[in-house]
Chains A and B, each alone.
Chain A
Amino acid sequence: MSDLTSDQSQPDHDPTQPYEGVRVIELAEGIAGPYAGRWLAALGADVIKVERTTGDPSRAFGPWPGDLPDDETSGLFLYLNGDKRSITLNLDTSDGREILHELARSAEIVIESFEPGYLAERGLGYDVLSADNPPLVMISITPFGQTGPNANLPATELTLYAASGQLWLTGHPERPPLKNGGAQPSYQAGLNALAAIAAAYFGAVTHEQGSYIDLSVQETYAGMAEAFHTRASQLGIETQRSGNNLNALWGLYQTADGFGGICALPRNYPGFARAVGLPELQDARFAEPAQRLLHNDELMAILHGWFIDQSQEGLLELGIEHRVPFGFVASMEDLSSSEHLHDRQFFAERDDALAGRLTYPGRLWLSSGHDWQMGRAPRLGEHNLAVIHGELGYEREDLVRLRELDAI
């Protein structure tokens, strides 16, 4: 495969971005919806982020440079909102609602994350917004979806982790269930939302008919429970959490300088045994997958003794040499200086007037057909004038009135 990071002369490269000219109204706050909107913007969409007049609450979450809280320098917000335009609207005012309705007429996609019923109560449900815009794709991203007994139950990352069955599976068997770092329920929901929007938008452009999508964070995360839920339903077997080792050949071990890992399926064992090089791995008791499971503790003890003398980088090199699934627990520091990731131009770098020089994950995949934009995130309401006056035709005096009415 030729190098897609530097070769813009690919025969199939096209200057048209996938979502160029596509208008997205992002009414979503926090992580999930903005994550999806962030990549649509990077792929050319005109994403108008409609913020409440006090701003997306993610502006109030860090990290901040030097730990100094500032609505315009939240690392989370800056990461999730690049290349978007920001306007402020108060949807509890009739002017705010009218402006949103006008904007939606010009939009191909609407992303929202209000509590179920919020938009419909304000006359802004999908039936209203799509009435004169039938190809509109609209997605609602909420913790538990639009229907069912928990639809209006407030949620956090931890409670969603529990509700999806994921929390039960993670952590040490003799300790309480353990949550992943960060905000995985929301992030993975955002990624699902991106797939949902892309598929629905393809349906809309090929059939000239839009759709309304109800995405539940709990469901997208439960859908990822590996096959453990269907194992329960097909065989009636409960799954216990297995900590860092599902078995000796699937998990983490301490190394001389940190933690490394191995994930070897039965077919990987011969290569693994060659790479490790210990003669006892060739013993008859480890020859077949079933025997290895019967002698799992012995195998684990041998591997503990071997891993503790290895280095993290050495493991990866050994894995590359022998085509064996070795890896290590990489930190943000390791990754930010990774030659491999820089070679693939994975990180975007940007000088932000207020936040300084920033480096962050800059794309999802490499394509021979299109590029990724890596622009900055908007200030709160930065595009009120350009959008409400410039595009919707409100007079400047109207903007003053709207401000006085607390509508923007």
Chain B
Amino acid sequence: MFDPGRPLSGVRVADLTMIWAGPYAAKILADQGAEVIKIESPQAWDNIRTLLPPPVAPGEHWWNTNFYLHEYSRNKKSLTLDLSADEGRAVFAQLLPHCDVVIENYRTDVMDNLGLTYEWLREQREDIIVVGMAGFGKTGPEKDAVGYGPIIEMMSGMTSTTGYGDDGVPYKSGISYGDPIAGVCAAAAVATALVHRHRTGRGQYIDLAQREVMSTLLGEFYMDWSMNRRLPQHMGTGHDWMAPHNVYPCAGDDDWIAICVRSDAEWDGLKRAMGSPEWAERTEFSDQILRWEHRAELDELVGGWTAARSKTDAFAALHTERVPSSPVWKMLEVLREPHLRARGFYEPLRHPEVGIWAAHGWLWRADGAGPCIIAPAPDFGQHNAEILGDLLGMSESEQSALESAGVIASRPAGVPLASEMPATPSMLG
């Protein structure tokens, strides 16, 4: 029975990724129905497990619990395997014939250093699809440069386009924007390669440079450089022809609402939403061009209306008049935002050492799909026995020998239990 929400069911992915970009890609593949086996070494696990020490990460086995890990690794299985050891690579070689895809976001040279070259991977499974997601790609003079999301954003041109406009300072995104962009693209690359393999019988190697993917989201700026040798202006939250077009302060602590007017009809709607104030009838606001020319004064006046009410009250009035607008939702608010809630965007995640909390579900929703989240992020090594025993046919004594040799484990090497640790501040406490 075909589940339209899980078009990748039947596909198995060996997921060697860490931190964010790669795990985000593999998460999408898992959500779409692929069986994703997250492979971590007992000596070098996904750093995200231990980036946030207790008490931020709850529970005694705190490397299994933090919100960061669960955001990117729900719906996956966990296998521990030390790929730098001969025994670990031998197990990996046994696993690969069962896999369709290998995905990694290591530094450019790491896979080759581990002996996991494309050639070697193809020897284990000839039509394997391999995705490398190094920040700057696998070739070229800058291939050994390394970077997390904000570096990718800077090096793509994105950061140069963002700023308030009055101080010449470029701004990075509030998130590590380079990561999820590369992750979504890698998911598209895998699905495309699966289509290609279905048609031709051939696998392929995909060299996906995170920086390049981000650059494709800046088409008009590259074109302006190409056509006119012009660099982007920092626009703040303004616009080059719309007015009003800004964020306006509301009653409350650091509360804002975004309002944009694209036409005379929307201007009329805004006037009605504001209770038809007299000032709005002034000649200098009578058409789109005049409003843009007088936008500073207009922003003051619209801001006077918003400042006297809550952002939800202002939005209710604007919504009735179909004016493009939205409260600037904070993180605690977006979880309860009525529209997302009505659509069931956030779904419950459950873990025995944490309890229940919410995470986003479907990034896109196929008609007829059930809930997106089936399982939380797997505990470290949770599926060792299932994969090594049931899938690869390894006996219990063979598995014990691997554990004794430190090739597999149920706990990251040298990481203490929460009760053995002092409380420490963390990057995102």
Contact = CB atoms under 8 A, between A and B. Distances in A.
Interface in B179-228: 180-181, 184-189, 191-196, 198-200, 202-209, 212-213, 215-228
A231 B331 contact: yes
Which among A170, A176, A265 has the greatest number of chain B C-beta atoms within 10 A? Answer: A176
Contacts of A201: 191, 195
Given A216-B343, A259-B169, A328-B155, 13 more contacts: A1-B117, A76-B220, A154-B324, A182-B221, A199-B187, A214-B364, A219-B340, A263-B150, A265-B148, A323-B144, A327-B151, A327-B154, A367-B205
Contact of A179 (B222, B235, B326): B235
Interface in A213-254: 213-216, 218-220, 222-239, 241-244, 246-247, 250-252
Interface stretch (A83-91, A352-360, A395-403): A352-360
B229 to A, nearest CB: 8
Contacts of B58: 234
B387 interface: no
B428 A231 contact: yes
Nearest to B365: A214
Contact of A150 (B150, B242, B339): B339
Contacts of B193: 18, 367, 369
Contacts of A113: none
B170 A259 contact: yes
B211 to A, nearest CB: 8
Interface in A259-280: 259, 261, 263, 265-267
Which among B156, B367, B426 has the greatest number of chain A C-beta atoms within 10 A? Answer: B367
A325 B324 CA distance: 39
Nearest to B213: A364
B217 A235 contact: no
A387 interface: no
Given A148-B339, A199-B191, A227-B71, A330 B160 contact: yes
A119 interface: no
B198 A62 contact: no
Nearest to B211: A341
B205 A1 contact: yes
Interface in B319-334: 319, 322-334
Interface residues of A, number: 165
A53 interface: no
B32 interface: yes
Interface stretch (A94-102, A156-164, A298-306, A378-386): A156-164
**Closest 6 pairs (CB-CB, A-B):** A181-B161, A203-B7, A169-B174, A369-B204, A75-B223, A198-B191
Interface SS of A by simple majority: mixed
Contact of B367 (A19, A165, A212): A212
Contacts of A316: 142, 145, 155
Nearest to A154: B324
Nearest to B342: A148
Nearest to A321: B144
Interface stretch (B285-293, B351-359, B412-420): B351-359
Interface in A126-178: 126, 139, 144-145, 147-150, 152-156, 158-172, 175-178
Contacts, number: 559
Contacts of B212: 341, 344, 346, 361, 363-365
5 contacts: A1-B207, A195-B28, A343-B140, A355-B227, A365-B208
Contact of B142 (A187, A340, A355): A340
B343 A263 contact: no
A243 to B, nearest CB: 7
Contact of A67 (B143, B150, B228): B228
A195 B174 contact: no
Given A198-B195, A359-B222, A367 B206 contact: yes
Contacts of A161: 258
Contacts of A237: 429
A364 B185 contact: yes
Contacts of B236: 178-179
A139 to B, nearest CB: 7
B56 interface: yes
B7 A200 contact: yes
A126 B136 CA distance: 40
Contact of A195 (B158, B187, B199, B360): B187
B154 A227 contact: no
Contact of A294 (B215, B216, B425): B425
Contacts of B145: 316, 319-320, 326-327
Contacts of B305: none
Nearest to A239: B331
Nearest to A288: B424
A250 B150 contact: yes
B223 A360 contact: yes
Contact of B174 (A171, A191, A369): A171
Interface string B128-143: 0000100011111111
Given A1-B138, A219-B345, A226-B175, A332 B160 contact: yes
A191 to B, nearest CB: 5
Given A220-B364, A343-B141, A325 B151 contact: yes
B366 A213 contact: yes
A365 B185 contact: yes
Given A195-B188, A203-B8, A147 B342 contact: yes
Contacts of B173: 166, 169-170, 180
A165 B145 CA distance: 31
A154 B143 CA distance: 43
Contacts of B90: none
